Amino acid sequence: MADDSLYGAAQALQGDPSMERVTLRLDNGATMQFTGRQFAGGSWYDEESATLTRQTLYVTSANEQVYALTTARGGQRSRRAYRISVQDDLCTIHDGRQEMTIELPLLLLAVQALVGLDKQVSPSIDLAVVEDTLRAANC
């Protein structure tokens, strides 16, 4: 049994040792539960803001992704998680309390704008690669 003290608990399932029941306790008052496995994670410390950030990425048994993020600064801590699923051209994002569904091309356009991707400045960055990666992660 693995224990993630910042988020909750993970318990190995009988029959498939790579899948666990994961419980994430979030600051929005929700508890996000799913069956899945961790496939990536990392942490870093920002000396300028004195903030420690940890991210954990999970894939669920339903082929969704869960992105869990904890930030800590001094005695304050923030715990958030987002469950992301893609079906056809729709992407659904759920934070444990609220759910939002958006058309994938519109979401990709918003991401492109938010991260400042400009094809004239960065012609080597192809948004189709981002879209293909997102679709592959959901398979």
Total domains in the chain come to 1
Per-residue confidence (pLDDT) for residue 128, from 0 to 100: 63
Give residue 81's domain range: 2-137
Which two three-digit tokens encode residue 105?
Answer: 């091309």
- pLDDT tens per residue, range 33-87: 999 999 899 999 999 999 999 999 999 999 999 999 999 998 899 999 999 999 9
Q: Convert the pLDDT of each residue in 98-120 to its tens digit.
A: 999 999 888 888 777 777 765 55
Instruction: Flag whether the pTM goes above 0.85.
Output: no
Distance CA 34, CA 68 (A): 12
